[in-house]
Amino acid sequence: MKRLLSCLFFVAIILCSAMESQSTEFVFQPSPKDMDDLQHGYYYGWSVDNAQAIQLGKELSEGYKITSAELVFTNIYNWQYKEIGNQLSTYLLSDAPPVPQKQDVPLIINGITQGTTTYTYTKTTTTTKEGKSPTPPAGYTLSGTITNNKGKITGYIYTKTTISTKTNSTGVCPQGYTLTSSIFVPKIISMPAGVMIGSDVWERANPNGADPNWGVGVNTLVGQWSDDHGGTPRGFNLVYDFNNELINQLSADASDGSFGFGMDPRCHFFNDGIVFTVETDPPVPEPSTLLFLSVGLAGFCFLKRRNKE
């Protein structure tokens, strides 16, 4: 009997060790890892739609459970201290935002499109000449005649109109000139594939609503953070340790192999990188299943012992 109990204990240890060894850790990071420093005036969408996300979805479909999930913004700080409007809102998106191809987009900072305006100015100059021939010199136009006191034509008057053009980017009109036109050329930045930057109109107004620009059905608020220091880095990490409610939502969102995060910065938040870590455990067998396996193995041990005797 003593040997039988020892065998059962040994079997239980093996089963527990096997279950613990199958835990999985998934580490996700956007590209670029700092999400372009989360500039004010943009709504950021991080599409988690890759081989790891597919594997996570596969495990969830097989009964694995998410035991922990942590979203970390490393060394994050606001570019300046502000009492009002200093807020970073982070959302868990039920579907991964669409991943664009490489694209060239205008650079927008604080809601203002960056670029250069070229101003064009003109000045009209009229030159007059006199001559004896009714045929004007090249570039001139016959504009009048010269007569003596008897009314006889003694000469001719020619004129030439010259238009001078100048341009600058200051908007200051040169003396004697008139502003005639202006052209704004936006500064273009090249966004790599997989990075989505929206414009002001993509900013989420209702945190619980759907944003058709992202094709998202349900958005869950992960957290809102304001920097009460601002201005300088201080090694602070913003950590969101998912509670049971967020873990359950993540499990539902990621079960199809993709999910996403949305960041709505109401200021400019510098950071050194964003990392999302998920840990899963395999499904726990029912107690009856464990008992059946233990008894079966114990019986095997018992029969083996009897055969030896």
Residue 259 has pLDDT above 70, yes or no: yes
Which range has the top average pLDDT, 93-102, 272-281, 291-300?
Answer: 272-281
Is residue 265 within 8 Å of residue 82, measured between CB atoms?
no
Tens-digit pLDDT profile for residues 22-57: 789 999 998 778 887 888 767 777 878 788 888 999
- What is 61-125 written as a DSSP string? HTT-EEEEEEEEEET-EESS--SSS--EEEEEESSPPP-PPSEEEE-EETTEE-EEEEEEEEEEE
Q: What share of the chain is helix, strand, coil (3-state, %, to 5)?
A: 20, 40, 40
Q: What is the dihedral of CA 215, 216, 222, 227, to 10 degrees?
A: 30
Mean pLDDT of the 62-90 span: 90
Rounded CA separation 44/148 (Å): 83
Domains in the chain: boundaries: 116-186
Rounded CA separation 255/275 (Å): 20
Model confidence, pTM = 0.57
Tens-digit pLDDT profile for residues 156-179: 999 999 999 999 999 999 999 999
Is 195 exposed, middle or buried, given 0-12, 13-18 or 19+ CB atoms closer than 10 A?
A: buried
| pLDDT greater at residue 263 or residue 197 | 263
| pLDDT greater at residue 282 or residue 293 | 282
Looking at residue 112, what is its pLDDT? Answer: 77
Angle among Cα 14, 15, 20 to the nearest 5 degrees reads: 100
